[in-house]
Structure 1
Amino acid sequence: MGSTTLSALHNLFNRKNLRRLIKLLLLVGIFMAITLAIGKLYQKWDDDPARGALAIDKGAFGENYSTPIYLDQGWSANDSLWFYNTTQGSALIPYDFFIALEQAEVNEPFRANSLIDQYRYLPQKPTFFNPDGLPVGFVKEGYKGKDYIGFTCAACHTGQVNYKGTAIRIDGGPAMADMVGFLTALEKSMMRTLTDSEKNQRFVSSVLALNNSYSRAEDVQSDLKRWTRKINLYNTINHSQVEYGYARLDAFGRIYNRVLEHVISRRQLRDVLLSATKADGDTNLLTLAQVDKVLLNISETIIGDLQFAKIIERLMSTEEGFPGLGLEDMERVKAMIFNEPNAPVSYPFLWDIAQSDYVQWNGLASNAGMGPLGRNTGEVIGVFGILDWTAHKRGWSLSSLLTGQSSKSYQIDFTSSIDLVNLSRLESHLKSLTSPVWPSIQTRTNNPEQQKANAIFEAMPEWRIDYAKVRRGRKVYAEYCESCHEVVDRTDWDRILVANMSSIDLVGTDRAMAENSVNYAGYSGNFKNTYQSESVGSLVIKDRAPVVQILTAATMGEVATEPDPDKWLPRRTLDWLYLMAKSFFDNEIKASVKSGDYLPDTTAAPYQSLLSYKARALNGIWATAPYLHNGSVPSIYDLLLPIKRPGDPDTGEYRPAQFMVGSREFDPVRVGLRAEGYPGFEFKADKRGDLNIGHEYGTARAPAVNGKKLEPLTAEQRWDLVEYIKTL
């Protein structure tokens, strides 16, 4: 066959392939367009004008309020309700268990509004997307044919402030939630249901009466024991000597621990148990025979929730051949595997998150490319995503390639309940969310809810804006604050918010969160001896490695795995292709160098830049108390004061060293929340994780701003600055 013929055939083949590729891309595009159109239409179906919000009478801490009103944050009623009720793959316990469960000490439902309000979640009435009237951020989640109660983003990122019986919901605002208290109460209720025969009988009968997969009482009892062990395991692993109270959570510490629980291999765990010693540091806690008995029939590669619960039971068992460890010895074993989540931080607010270059308090997550998907995947791991991670013999998969496992004898398959498609949709949804405007500020708005709020609060003198103070405060802000906290237009669609990073030595605030993010380490399991690319070059993940490396590898494996095993295979593949394309082409945030005054990463210290905290624009900051990254200051006015040091005169003004947290009652003068006079959680700024130090700008102890040492603010200047910040 001549060269001309070969050339013609070659061109024809290329043209045919090109046409096929174009047809395939058109089909994918049409499929995605139809899917998105249906999704948008469906999203509009829940349009309750009150957005499901309820009035509360005889609420926690004596707070009673009428049906909450909303401000104009760019979202309609159905936008808010879609955000509250969109699943992300969280699975706390079986759904019907949550519906049927009673409180530990009374025969009232665990999901009663009184208990929900006590732990400062937000009760809701039934609406189209929420027929059972679950609280904001609680949702019915389906996975592999079973239903679960799970958390959505809104559980931690929907706020509310109250004032004299009027409540304002803040979409994307920080929750006042006490998640630790809630999960502790949940465990107690489940334990009581196991041991109290009357409660147990009512529970089993209620579950069987619901429309679910349970048909036998024995199956309900078995799953109740299993899920009680899982909640107990989570609470045990994450117990901390630092009490969080309300409005704070060490989310990263808990995400880290959950990843370590699923990544550690049997060999690594065996080495830990064999090396564990008693308090004297010399005597082994377990014999070789006891270790082998504890690990009998435990998976070689992936352990996970249920097997870990079984291991703990065996370690504490007093039956023949088991070690029978007490709580003190168990704490030593736990400390060898996990890290104490002792750096609680305030729940971040979400407006402008989609327009930010770096997110998280210490700028850990870049928002460029696949960053948002990886960040949100880590979040679902922390809030009880089911991680059906298994190990299989060597073979090709994208996840094994991207996580460096291609040459391993075993490779991790990252199947899970995490809903990557919804995570991407939620991130896109947040693009239209804007920060709340101080009610009573007369802005141009056709939003009837904002108009109602303005009318209510304009009638209250303490909420009116003093514009003479605002003008003076603007000058103070420009000189003292704006070099770190830029002023942005909340409605500018093209805005990009640049995080201004300050090293922990410079800003001086509590170091716990930043240091833990860098220093915490754990066993890397199958990721051992794999490579990970960082800004300074490629790093080899060691047997015991920084948890930030292990988390990065795990989320990369999750993102590279086709989402939602419940869906038809072609649909999963198309969903995954759409996610990859969307992450790269629809994300307007591009990779960039961090801004600010911080220590850069080096080959010797590849995560050194994380030893810093982020300053961001302060629009809407009035609705996000308490302040500083760890919630250690109750109001903006208090934040402008110095801390009291030994030798300081008692007559001066200082940040409060202790105050009450839990009330949503707002202080429009100091701009914060009610900090005394009720039986909430008493916050004390007396130990690492809780310190209210640093960020003393405007005081005599302030560091230089742009190389210039500024004079301390007078009391009048502080009040002028507070007044201006209200308008941001």
Structure 2
Amino acid sequence: MGIFRIATIVGRLRWRFLIYAFLLILGAMLIALAIGKTYQRWDNDPERGALAISQDRFGEPYSTPIYLDQGWSPTDSLWFYNTTQGSALLPYDFFIALEQAGTQTLFRANTNMDGYRYLPQKPTFFNRDGLPVGFVKDTYQGVDYLGFTCAACHTSQINYNGKAIRIDGGPSMADMVGFLSGLEQSLQATLDNDEKYQRFVTAVLARNNTYKTPSQIRADLETWTASLNLYNRINHSPFDYGYARLDAFGRIYNRVLQYMINRQQLEAVLLGATNDQRQYLLTPDEVSRVLDGISETIISDRQFVQVITRLGSTAAGYPGLSRADITRIKQHIFNEANAPVSYGYLWDVPHSDYVQWNGLAANAGVGPLGRNAGEVMGVFAILDWSAQKPGFSLSAWLTGQQKKTRHIDFTSSIDSVNLARLEAHLKSLTSPRWPTLATSHENQQNAKAIFDAEPAWKIDPEKVRRGQWLYATHCQSCHELIDRTDWDRKIVAHLSNVNQVGTDPATALNSVNYTGYSGNFNNTYLRGGIGSQVIQNRAPALQILTAATTGVVATPDPDKWLVHRFLDWLYMLAHSFFNNELKPSIKTGDYQPDTTADPYASLRAYKARPLNGIWATAPYLHNGSVPTLYDLLLPKQRTGDPEEGVYRRDEFRVGAREFDPLRVGFRSEGYDGFLLRTTRPGDLNSGHEYGTIHDLRVKAGELEPLSDEDRWALVEYLKTL
């Protein structure tokens, strides 16, 4: 009896200890969170780090940019620019020291980064090296990396006669493909040029940070150059995107497919690959040599580089394939990233029921967390995925792998806690008002004082009044009007199937039709809106991405010790569930519903959303194929249309930030920017021709087509939203 009582007392003390320890850790976390909230306010530069540029690629120097009233203070903007999300494009020391390929000028120089249309910044508290907007030092497993934040693709700028306005949450003008190509060329030039390489090594060692010896630098420089080369080759498309666009869907899909394909599936691809004459490219012995030492379940980035290198080598019995033959193999594994879209604008996103151009992502519950995790995969999160022996794993259970002989551990550099915080931060962001439309906010008053002196920025009240009536007649059924500052606003996406809206279908179709090898997800169940689906060996890329993001979200941060990791993970899930006021809801609009026979039918559509702030989001349509709002109100010229009519331009220049406040868009002629020709699938400028001669209601005699006076009145009204 005495022993039993002693055991009971010890047991109670143990539980008390555990409870007290838990409460102590939880209290410490809350204190740390409170300190963090205070700490983020320390970066309080009144100009938000913005600086003037005297030498611009397209001859558009500008003064220090100003800001409009968007509900954010300087600290809010700077926190958004500089908050890490787990991106690791390159070792940080490398980026700081790297020179451009053909010169000794640093790659990160403001003029070079501005040329790629990333926005230069001066050093501030959280950005000590003066990186452009959306570039940060991100740390993972004790190593510093250069990473992207949301702001790199979702902050914009408008110039006018030497003046500049920064737009938080606006669509970037960035040329990410050009940037990544230039970065790879600069890394390769550093390896190839002895003098450049010695300067690079000296500069990296002088930082006294990650690297201590030249041999460490050489090894990592070769590895990261090869890795970036692999990424650029996988996502190469014969069609250029130019500025202000990126095929984000295609690139995210490809990144996940690279890590999901297993050795058995890769072996089948190599054995079955043929040339134009249907002759096999590799013998079974060559395939065996190429895959020697390659992991069975997860093929790492370095191993994939090794496979590609071996395929092109003639040494040691390797096949020595041509670049064209390697591309043929690539096409069996990956999908061509050939449907670029404009970078979306972020105001109202946390209040929206469905997001992405085709309404792919539901925004209720933990939906934003999964969506943002997929985004970070696309912008170079380190995916330390590995195959583990059977045993309980939440990620394995949620992704249906619990019965597998191996399950994937989805450890990565993705910072889920920061992703949840960033999504919450965006709730307070509002759309920008036209500069001469005053509010009581100091920023808007300053902008009004500057632009009131510019006649082109004046708003014509009579045109606005007529435009408001036209908007109600032609636009409001899809593009609802909202109060941009209403904290409780709910944004309902109005979806139109691609055949009805008539805009370029490539993005919507690719999101549904692209497939890939499912790796360890083969024969697992994926829970969906219409019921569970079995993921097959070759499956829709969307299924594989959904399963992978589920695994990532269910995996705690490896950079924290066990209890902290678990509590952070609980906080992140609770924050996502309870801070998100959006509930699951059916989609709205004229779209094909999902069915058991066609479970992704509703994604072959594009969504309309409220147009508040639309004036600051050129170029237009989801693929950026129309330069101005005025052009958007014109029809696309088709065979049989009158020659004397006014039509959308089939080609125009992109890259300038100089704004046209009359037509509402960026300068599109008279400079050496990217020439966008709207003639191929992915770039088409057709569709969304409401109120024109191609509108079915106009053809049926139900409406009169818009006159030129009507178009100018509508443009004037759209400025005021």
Q: How far 1:22 sits from its partner (Å)?
A: 8.8
Provide the aligned length of Structure 1 versus Structure 2: 713
**Partner secondary structure for residue 61 of structure 1:** coil
Could you say if the C-alpha distance between residues 560 and 704 of structure 1 is closer, same or farther in structure 2, counting changes exceeding 3 Å?
farther
Map 1:228-627; keep pairs closer than 5 Å. 228-281=225-278, 283-443=279-439, 445=440, 447-563=441-557, 565-627=558-620
- State whether residues 660 and 682 of structure 1, in contact with CA within 8 Å, keep that contact through their aligned partners in structure 2: yes
Q: Does 1:164 align with 2:161?
A: yes
**Partner secondary structure for residue 500 of structure 2:** helix
Q: Which amino acid is the alignment partner of residue 583 of structure 2? A: K
Map 1:34-45; keep pairs closer than 5 Å. 34-45=31-42
**Partner secondary structure for residue 522 of structure 1:** strand
1:212 aligned residue (184, 203, 209): 209
Q: How far 1:18 sits from its partner (Å)?
A: 12
Q: How far 1:166 sits from its partner (Å)?
A: 0.4
**Partner secondary structure for residue 112 of structure 2:** helix
Map 1:104-119; keep pairs closer than 5 Å. 104-119=101-116
Q: How far 1:579 sits from its partner (Å)?
A: 1.0
- State whether residues 93 and 210 of structure 2, in contact with CA within 8 Å, keep that contact through their aligned partners in structure 1: no
User: How many angstroms apart in 1 are the aligned matches of 2:168 and 2:29?
Assistant: 28
Map 1:677-696; keep pairs closer than 5 Å. 677-696=670-689
Could you say if the C-alpha distance between residues 196 and 18 of structure 1 is closer, same or farther in structure 2, counting changes exceeding 3 Å?
closer
Q: Which amino acid is the alignment partner of residue 399 of structure 2? A: T
- State whether residues 625 and 635 of structure 1, in contact with CA within 8 Å, keep that contact through their aligned partners in structure 2: yes
What residue is the counterpart of 2:5 in the other structure? Answer: none
- State whether residues 157 and 347 of structure 1, in contact with CA within 8 Å, keep that contact through their aligned partners in structure 2: yes
User: How many angstroms apart in 2 are the aligned matches of 1:513 and 1:261?
Assistant: 21
- State whether residues 135 and 148 of structure 2, in contact with CA within 8 Å, keep that contact through their aligned partners in structure 1: yes
Deviations 1:297-331 (A, max 9, x none): 00000012111111000000011410101011111
What residue is the counterpart of 1:140 in the other structure? Answer: 137
Q: Which amino acid is the alignment partner of residue 196 of structure 1? A: N
Q: Which amino acid is the alignment partner of residue 406 of structure 2? A: Y
Q: How far 1:81 sits from its partner (Å)?
A: 0.5
User: How many angstroms apart in 1 are the aligned matches of 2:315 and 2:14?
Assistant: 68
Q: How far 1:339 sits from its partner (Å)?
A: 0.2
**Partner secondary structure for residue 62 of structure 1:** coil
- Give ranges in structure 2 of 5+ residues lacking alignment: 2-8
Could you say if the C-alpha distance between residues 534 and 295 of structure 1 is closer, same or farther in structure 2, counting changes exceeding 3 Å?
same
Q: Which amino acid is the alignment partner of residue 468 of structure 1? A: E
Q: How far 1:128 sits from its partner (Å)?
A: 0.3
Q: Which amino acid is the alignment partner of residue 724 of structure 1? A: Y
Q: Which amino acid is the alignment partner of residue 157 of structure 2? A: Q
User: How many angstroms apart in 2 are the aligned matches of 1:105 and 1:18?
Assistant: 66
User: How many angstroms apart in 2 are the aligned matches of 1:702 and 1:27?
Assistant: 66
- State whether residues 506 and 703 of structure 1, in contact with CA within 8 Å, keep that contact through their aligned partners in structure 2: no
User: How many angstroms apart in 1 are the aligned matches of 2:719 and 2:579?
Assistant: 34
User: How many angstroms apart in 2 are the aligned matches of 1:300 and 1:311?
Assistant: 13
Could you say if the C-alpha distance between residues 591 and 704 of structure 1 is closer, same or farther in structure 2, counting changes exceeding 3 Å?
farther
What residue is the counterpart of 2:65 in the other structure? Answer: 68
What residue is the counterpart of 1:636 in the other structure? Answer: 629
**Partner secondary structure for residue 660 of structure 1:** strand
Could you say if the C-alpha distance between residues 363 and 293 of structure 1 is closer, same or farther in structure 2, counting changes exceeding 3 Å?
same
Q: Which amino acid is the alignment partner of residue 345 of structure 1? A: V
User: How many angstroms apart in 1 are the aligned matches of 2:210 and 2:88?
Assistant: 16
- State whether residues 286 and 317 of structure 2, in contact with CA within 8 Å, keep that contact through their aligned partners in structure 1: yes
Q: Which amino acid is the alignment partner of residue 516 of structure 1? A: N
- State whether residues 242 and 689 of structure 1, in contact with CA within 8 Å, keep that contact through their aligned partners in structure 2: no
Q: How far 1:29 sits from its partner (Å)?
A: 5.9
Q: How far 1:19 sits from its partner (Å)?
A: 9.6
Could you say if the C-alpha distance between residues 676 and 39 of structure 1 is closer, same or farther in structure 2, counting changes exceeding 3 Å?
same
Q: How far 1:620 sits from its partner (Å)?
A: 0.3
Identity %: 65
Q: Which amino acid is the alignment partner of residue 86 of structure 1? A: T
RMSD of aligned Cα (Å): 1.9
Runs of 4 or more above 3 Å deviation:
15-33
User: How many angstroms apart in 2 are the aligned matches of 1:24 and 1:148?
Assistant: 34
Could you say if the C-alpha distance between residues 575 and 712 of structure 1 is closer, same or farther in structure 2, counting changes exceeding 3 Å?
same
User: How many angstroms apart in 2 are the aligned matches of 1:314 and 1:190?
Assistant: 21
Could you say if the C-alpha distance between residues 16 and 196 of structure 1 is closer, same or farther in structure 2, counting changes exceeding 3 Å?
closer
Deviations 1:166-219 (A, max 9, x none): 000000000000000000000000111001111011111111111212111111
User: How many angstroms apart in 2 are the aligned matches of 1:153 and 1:583?
Assistant: 18
Could you say if the C-alpha distance between residues 194 and 617 of structure 1 is closer, same or farther in structure 2, counting changes exceeding 3 Å?
same
Deviations 1:559-579 (A, max 9, x none): 00012x121211111000111
- State whether residues 32 and 578 of structure 1, in contact with CA within 8 Å, keep that contact through their aligned partners in structure 2: no
What residue is the counterpart of 1:121 in the other structure? Answer: 118
Q: Which amino acid is the alignment partner of residue 422 of structure 2? A: L
- State whether residues 161 and 666 of structure 1, in contact with CA within 8 Å, keep that contact through their aligned partners in structure 2: yes
- State whether residues 89 and 141 of structure 1, in contact with CA within 8 Å, keep that contact through their aligned partners in structure 2: yes
Q: How far 1:449 sits from its partner (Å)?
A: 2.1
**Scaled by the length of structure 2, what TM-score is found?**
0.97
User: How many angstroms apart in 2 are the aligned matches of 1:140 and 1:20?
Assistant: 39
- State whether residues 144 and 210 of structure 2, in contact with CA within 8 Å, keep that contact through their aligned partners in structure 1: no
Deviations 1:645-694 (A, max 9, x none): 12323321100000000000000000111010000000000100000010
Q: Does 1:88 align with 2:85?
A: yes
**Scaled by the length of structure 1, what TM-score is found?**
0.96
